[in-house]
Amino acid sequence: MKTIEAVKSLKAKFGDVLVSELLFMGETTLEVAKDNLKAILGFLKKNADGGGFEVLMDLTGVDYLEPTKRTKVVYWLHNPENYERIRIVIFAARGESLPTVTDLWEGADWFERELYDLFGIGFDGHPDLKRILMPDDWVGHPLLRDYALTEEPVEFKHGVKPKVPSQIIPHVGRVITSWDSGVTRRSP
């Protein structure tokens, strides 16, 4: 089933549940609310009337500081029959948790752990939610926009102090600069 038909049948089934709908460069993006996230993903996965988006090709997040501090979680679904794709997005406020999709796709396990690790999003019902890329005792979630990126001077020769002290990498030339000022170094 084509993506456009799948969206139609989704609307017929659930009524007016989409927060927003966007078609950009041939990619359909649907924004949904937390309450019906699981129902909509489960519906789209079904082959009969949902569109057969059986594969969760990617699951990731994008962090925003404006208008409020929040993270967009992106489900990128793939139909293995006709290779149509659809993007489902949902916004999660800081510290908010979403329902897990590991019961729909077993492989979502690690993707959700990565989201938890790098964005601090919790997943209710996840079998083993812990850090995956960063060390277990790491403080903070690195891909948040207000997490400062720092650089460490490399000591090339033992005992010789590097000339340049540790510093925050400046964001020179960024036109939209919302997080340059006021960042502090993460204490080691």
Partner 1 sequence: MTISKAAQNLINIQSSGDISGEIMELNLGPQHPSTHGVLRLKLHLNGEVVISAEPVIGYLHTGIEKECETRTYHQIFTLVDRLDYLSGPAEEEVFAGTVERLMNITVPERAQTIRVILLELSRISSHLIWVGTSALELNMSSVFMYCFAEREKILDLFEEISGARMFPSLWRIGGLARDLNPDFEEHLKDFLRDFPKLWKDLDDLLTDNYVWNTRLKDVAIIDEELCKQYMCTGPVIRGAGVPYDIRKIYPYSGYENYQFDVPTYPEGDAYARYMVRMEEMQQSASIVQQGLARLKPGPVITDDRKVALPPRRELARSMEAVIHQFKLVSEGLHPPVGEIYHCVESARGELGNYLVSDGSNKPQRLRVRSPSFSHVEVLKKILPGHILSDVVVAIASVDPILGDVDR
Q: Which spans of this chain sit near partner 1 (rule: CB under 8 A)?
A: 24-25, 27, 29, 54-58, 60, 62-63, 74, 76, 80, 83, 85, 87, 105-107, 109-110, 131-135, 142-143, 147, 149, 169, 171, 173-176
Q: Are 50 and 9 in contact (CB under 8 A)?
A: yes
CB of 12 to partner 1, least distance (A): 26
Taking the complex as a whole, how short is the minimal distance between the CB of residue 114 and partner 1, in angstroms?
Answer: 8
Q: How far is the CB of 24 from partner 1 (least distance, A)?
A: 6
Which residue lies nearer to partner 1 by CB, 6 or 86? Answer: 86
Give min distance, CB of 15 to partner 1, in A.
27
Give 129: exposed, middle or buried? Use CB within 10 Å, 0-12, 13-18, 19+: buried
Nearer to partner 1, 7 or 101 (CB): 101
Nearest to 75 by CA among 49, 41, 104: 41
DSSP state of 81: T
Q: Minimum Å distance from CB 10 to partner 1?
A: 20
Q: Could you tell me the sign of the dihedral formed by the alpha carbons of 10, 33, 139, 129, in that order?
A: negative
The CA distance from 75 to 60, in Å, is 7
DSSP 8-class letter at 35? T
Q: Report angle CA 18, 23, 24 to the nearest 5 degrees.
A: 135
Nearer residue to partner 1 within complex by CB, 99 or 142: 142
| Nearer to partner 1 (CB atom), residue 35 or residue 58 | 58
Q: Between residues 14 and 70, which has the closer beta carbon with respect to partner 1?
A: 70
